[in-house]
Chains A and B, each alone.
Chain A
């Protein structure tokens, strides 16, 4: 079993919808949680970075971390066609340097 599980999708939503993307993990040592967006033929782009449990908001994006359930989420409000990409969750341990453990990614398509 992988340390980080993520539904690969694909997920297709209409423009303007609220999108919910999720990851679960098994390693309780993970303390830092990130969401990346990756367009085709590009490197991953950092969207959100959070430490421990709680919520963080940045424009249309909200990241939630529930360490008690080992569950993290990314919400995208008012989704746009330009949000169509693969979304990757990533995590790291305190004292683990900058080693990231990734989910396999969820492919999102926002349709007009």
Chain B
């Protein structure tokens, strides 16, 4: 069974640009969550999508947005990049049904560097 796939694995962007990251969840999973991981703050929750709807949102500015498609694949967009957005962005796939609090499985992440 294929795991969670995140693309690209690495990105270098310039301050002020925007970026889109992609996540394909485990087949049958309908919940996709996004996290930012930095050495200082650890893993912080960005948002969760279930059946194309945002179900939860963390405390990040509006520059961070996401969406989910009918096939459960999800994208995350960061606009007007700042140096502090440099981080590992992780996607987690959960649950084959609408039941929350199911086990979350992570992808390998996208390493974003803003210069």
Contacts and interface: CB of A to CB of B under 8 A. Distances in A.
Contact of A102 (B31, B42, B55, B102): B42
A45 B103 CA distance: 11
Contacts of A97: 31, 48, 50, 55-56, 100-101
Contacts, number: 76
Interface residues of A, number: 27
A101 B101 CA distance: 12
Contacts of B6: 43
A46 B43 contact: no
Contacts of B105: 46
Contact of A100 (B33, B41, B107): B33
Interface string B87-115: 00010101100001111111111000000
Interface in B52-102: 55-56, 58, 90, 92, 94-95, 100-102
Interface of B: 4, 6, 31, 33, 35, 41-45, 48, 50, 55-56, 58, 90, 92, 94-95, 100-109
7 closest A-B pairs (Cβ-Cβ)? Answer: A43-B106, A104-B42, A102-B43, A98-B94, A99-B56, A97-B100, A97-B56
